[in-house]
């Protein structure tokens, strides 16, 4: 009997040791506590200061340019002559038009006298109706000749005046397209004029950034070489089509009272807060996957176990992941050792952070 009792005791002891071996110790893990961030991210773009209103100054007639009195960077006044063409051909055409008008007026006087004489003769019965009608037709033709000569004279006078290129508004010369001595064509840009008035900060923005931007955002603009010089503005114009090469959209931001240091052509940086719900940031090491979808291990303080949960990711980098949805503030997420876990596994927290 004693031997039987001893054997039973040894058997029970062995079963107890086997039961203890089947219950592994909780796995130590590091965790972070979920906290909601400040919302959408900020985006920045490099651009250039341009005038809101620019015009290409060009001659309305062709000719050889003999003078250009304004250069890039010069300030010009409204009505100022900034370039001249050789007027000789235009003056010759003017003199020819004046002579043609004088001849036409002489013909008109002769035709008028002839018609008056035919009127008197017809009244006294000393001429025929055909002669009278011919005199009337000659008078009408002479009047048409005068009208045409006057129109040609006006064109010749205008062409003489067009040999002077006049600034239509005050502004700054930003480019030139012709040099004295060159034969320029009508409509060819001679000077590019940035008219006085508003200034824009012009940026090339990707389509996804345009979609993420809030409605009517306030843009902070600063000089790239002196960030202390700043101004604010709002979007004034967005190009309807993307650039075929860069696939970006040209955006013009109207600047509110820009400082004098923000000169035309200055390189600037624009910053804007993009729209988006408040974001949750986690270490990249917390991310795993289930069914080809991103997921994290969530710790349950009541049971001291972990459960796998799918999440939606907004952004991912080597250091961090921004969670769009799937987690709530206050929840605890495993941040290290995620590959060795299984659902319902007991864990022991090594440390918590945020």
Together in a domain, 30 and 143 = no
43/217 Cα distance (integer angstroms): 12
> CATH number of the domain that 222 lies in?
2.40.30.170
Share of the chain above pLDDT 90, in %: 58
Together in a domain, 169 and 78 = yes
166 has pLDDT over 90: yes
pLDDT score at 321: 83
**Domain stop point among 140, 161, 182:** 161
116/271 Cα distance (integer angstroms): 83
> CATH number of the domain that 98 lies in?
1.10.287
Number of domains in the chain: 4
Together in a domain, 323 and 288 = yes
DSSP letters spanning 215-277: SSPEEEEEETTEEEEEEEEEEEEE-SS--TTT-EEEEEEEEES--TTS-TT-EEEEEEEPP-P
Q: Which residue in 140, 118, 139 sits closest to 129, CA to CA?
A: 118
DSSP letters spanning 136-164: HHHHHHHHHHHHHHHHHHHHHHHHHHTTE
Together in a domain, 231 and 128 = no
Lowest mean pLDDT of 176-190, 228-242, 313-327, name the range.
313-327
pLDDT score at 276: 57
Calculate mean pLDDT across residues 274-285: 72
The answer to the question of residue 16 being in a domain is no
pLDDT score at 40: 56
The model carries a pTM of 0.57
Condensed to tens digits (0 to 9), the pLDDT of residues 88-101 reads 999 999 999 999 99
Calculate mean pLDDT across residues 62-80: 95
The answer to the question of residue 4 being in a domain is no
State the residue range of the domain holding 143: 88-161
Q: Cβ distance 238 to 206 under 8 Å?
A: no
143 has pLDDT over 90: yes
Q: Give alpha helix (H) positions in 49-182.
A: 88-124, 129-161
**Domain stop point among 217, 246, 273:** 273
The DSSP bridge pattern shows strands 218-223 and 183-184 to be unpaired
Count of CB atoms situated within 10 Å of the CB of 27: 15
Q: Cβ distance 48 to 204 under 8 Å?
A: no
Together in a domain, 287 and 348 = yes
274/276 Cα distance (integer angstroms): 7
Structure tokens at 176: 């030139």
Whole-number mean pLDDT of the chain? 87
Count of CB atoms situated within 10 Å of the CB of 202: 18
The answer to the question of residue 127 being in a domain is yes
Condensed to tens digits (0 to 9), the pLDDT of residues 17-52 reads 544 556 678 888 888 888 766 555 677 889 999 999
**Domain stop point among 172, 194, 216:** 194
Q: Cβ distance 334 to 347 under 8 Å?
A: yes
Calculate mean pLDDT across residues 144-164: 97
Together in a domain, 98 and 128 = yes
Q: Cβ distance 286 to 335 under 8 Å?
A: yes
Together in a domain, 251 and 238 = yes
> CATH number of the domain that 317 lies in?
2.40.420.20
Together in a domain, 113 and 206 = no
3 has pLDDT over 80: no
Q: Cβ distance 176 to 55 under 8 Å?
A: no
The answer to the question of residue 308 being in a domain is yes
Together in a domain, 100 and 221 = no
The answer to the question of residue 9 being in a domain is no
Structure tokens at 105: 């007026």
Together in a domain, 119 and 75 = no
Together in a domain, 153 and 212 = no
pLDDT score at 233: 94
The answer to the question of residue 254 being in a domain is yes
Calculate mean pLDDT across residues 149-176: 95
pLDDT score at 318: 78
Structure tokens at 179: 């040099």
Together in a domain, 239 and 346 = no
pLDDT score at 38: 52
In degrees rounded to 5, what are phi and psi of residue 191? -140, 140
Task: Pick from 9-18, 154-163, 307-316 the range whose average pLDDT is largest.
Answer: 154-163
- Split at pLDDT 50, 70, 90, the class of 128 is very high
């Amino acid at each position: 009997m004693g031997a039987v009792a001893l054997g039973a005791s040894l058997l029970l002891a062995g079963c107890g040791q086997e039961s203890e071996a089947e219950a592994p110790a909780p796995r130590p893990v590091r965790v972070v506590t979920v906290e909601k961030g400040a919302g959408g991210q900020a985006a920045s773009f490099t651009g250039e200061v341009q005038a809101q209103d620019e015009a290409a100054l060009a001659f309305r007639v062709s000719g050889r340019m003999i003078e250009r009195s304004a250069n890039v960077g010069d300030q010009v006044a409204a009505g100022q002559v900034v370039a001249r063409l050789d007027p000789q051909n235009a003056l010759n055409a003017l003199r020819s038009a004046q002579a043609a008008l004088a001849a036409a007026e002489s013909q008109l006087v002769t035709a008028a006298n002839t018609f008056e004489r035919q009127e008197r003769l017809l009244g006294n019965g000393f001429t025929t109706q055909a002669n009278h009608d011919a005199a009337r037709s000659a008078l009408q033709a002479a009047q048409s000749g005068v009208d045409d000569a006057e129109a040609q004279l006006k064109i010749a006078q205008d062409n003489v005046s067009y040999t002077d290129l006049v600034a239509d508004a005050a502004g700054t010369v930003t480019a030139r397209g012709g040099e004295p001595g060159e034969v320029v064509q009508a409509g060819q840009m001679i000077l590019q004029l940035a008219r006085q008035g508003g200034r824009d900060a012009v940026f090339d923005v990707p389509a996804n950034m345009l979609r993420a931007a809030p409605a009517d955002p306030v843009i902070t603009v600063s000089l790239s070489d002196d960030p202390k010089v700043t101004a604010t503005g709002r979007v004034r114009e967005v190009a309807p089509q993307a650039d075929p090469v860069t696939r970006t959209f040209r955006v013009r931001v109207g600047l509110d009272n820009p400082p004098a240091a923000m000169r035309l052509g200055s390189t600037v940086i624009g910053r804007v807060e993009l729209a988006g719900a408040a974001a949750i940031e986690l270490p990249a090491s917390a991310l795993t996957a289930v069914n080809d979808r991103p997921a994290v291990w969530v710790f349950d303080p009541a049971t001291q176990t972990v459960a796998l949960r799918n999440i939606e990711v907004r952004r991912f980098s080597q250091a961090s992941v921004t969670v769009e949805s799937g987690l709530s503030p206050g929840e605890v997420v495993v941040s290290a050792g995620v590959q060795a876990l299984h659902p319902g596994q007991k864990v022991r927290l090594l440390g918590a952070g945020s």
